[in-house]
């Protein structure tokens, strides 16, 4: 499928209401266009690379006829039972068969199929989404272990439900939309959740190419086991924010790493440690993860102390 690329959603501002829209869960996984031809499954990534070898448990051909193409997302669940892209990270670029087989057993993947582009050689891209989904629902994908996720009429309800469950967000699609390979369109809209939390600053890193201008913070969460590292935050720190933070953190310089667990070497290298007393607000995708996802700095919380963030274990 070198000539076929996935259709892309545009960022949305407000979840659209009305009967012309259907809404789906936004899966936190690996996008894959997948073709079944002559009993062989070929999976292709968003940028056109073949990735079938990394997902052997998904490469069993379902009974869908010859020359059939579907669009979907490869997902895996984390320890909370929530789809998490990082769970797939160890598998994405592995091609050695023995290693792939071991990882497939340890971190099994599921293919969530949400669109049908070709069926038995018939091009369906020009049909409305409603018809493509109807035909997709008629297929038997059980042999491959693939799943067709549900659609919902109430987008606002789904957005709040996915927020409460810690999922990535939703995608809203017009029922009359055709499939436009490789195009980003307003007929598909994506809504990713941002969660805000408060964290303790344990260190800072200079901006790339500088030795003294603050470019990123290392933040953690106070727990019964000490301050646990949650990630590095550089987004949202412009020149003005950098000056403010530098003024707050400079008097707190310390020679000791305040984190109780290991800070990855790539983050620790070149870091200036500080006494862990400053609390900042961070926006991030998803909630409840060991590491912040796409974090963005929002400001210093002078009204909070690390003790205010500590929660007794239940």
Catalytic residue (one of 13, 26, 190, 269): 26
Between CA 264 and CA 269 the distance in angstroms is 9
Burial of 45 (0-12, 13-18, 19+ CB in 10 A): middle
Q: How many residues does the chain have?
A: 314
Residue 173 annotated in active site = no
Burial of 283 (0-12, 13-18, 19+ CB in 10 A): middle
Region of 162 please: left (phi>0), alpha (psi -120 to 50) or beta.
alpha
Half-sphere exposure of 307 (CA within 13 A, CB side): 0
The answer to whether the CB of 6 falls within 8 A of the CB of 170 is: no
Beta-strand relationship, 8-11 and 293-300: unpaired
Catalytic sites, residue numbers: 26
């Amino acid at each position: 499928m070198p000539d076929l690329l996935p259709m892309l959603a545009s960022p949305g501002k407000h979840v659209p209401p009305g009967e012309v829209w259907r809404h789906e869960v936004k899966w936190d996984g690996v996008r894959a266009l997948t073709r079944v031809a002559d009993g062989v499954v070929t999976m292709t990534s968003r940028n056109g690379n073949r990735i079938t070898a990394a997902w052997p448990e998904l490469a069993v051909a379902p009974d869908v006829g010859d020359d059939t193409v579907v669009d979907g997302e490869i997902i895996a669940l984390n320890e909370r039972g929530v789809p998490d892209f990082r769970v797939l990270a160890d598998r994405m670029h592995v091609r050695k068969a023995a290693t792939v087989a071991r990882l497939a057993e340890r971190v099994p993947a599921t293919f969530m199929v949400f669109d049908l582009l070709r069926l038995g050689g018939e091009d369906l891209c020009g049909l409305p989404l409603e018809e493509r989904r109807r035909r997709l629902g008629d297929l038997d994908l059980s042999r491959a272990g693939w799943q067709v996720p549900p659609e919902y009429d109430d987008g606002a309800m789904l957005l709040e439900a996915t927020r409460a469950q810690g999922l990535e967000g939703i995608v809203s699609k017009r029922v009359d939309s055709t499939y436009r390979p490789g195009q980003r369109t307003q007929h598909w809209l994506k809504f990713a959740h941002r969660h805000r939390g408060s964290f303790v600053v344990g260190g800072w890193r200079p901006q790339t190419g500088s030795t003294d201008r603050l470019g990123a913070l290392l933040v953690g969460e106070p727990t019964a086991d000490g301050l646990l590292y949650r990630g590095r935050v550089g987004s949202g720190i412009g020149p003005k924010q950098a000056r403010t933070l530098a003024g707050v953190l400079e008097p707190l310089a310390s020679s000791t790493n305040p984190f109780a667990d290991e800070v990855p070497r790539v983050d620790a290298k070149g870091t200036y440690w500080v006494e862990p007393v400053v609390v900042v607000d961070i926006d991030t995708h998803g909630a409840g993860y060991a590491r912040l996802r796409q974090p963005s700095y929002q400001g210093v919380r002078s009204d909070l102390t690390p003790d205010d963030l500590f929660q007794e274990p239940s």
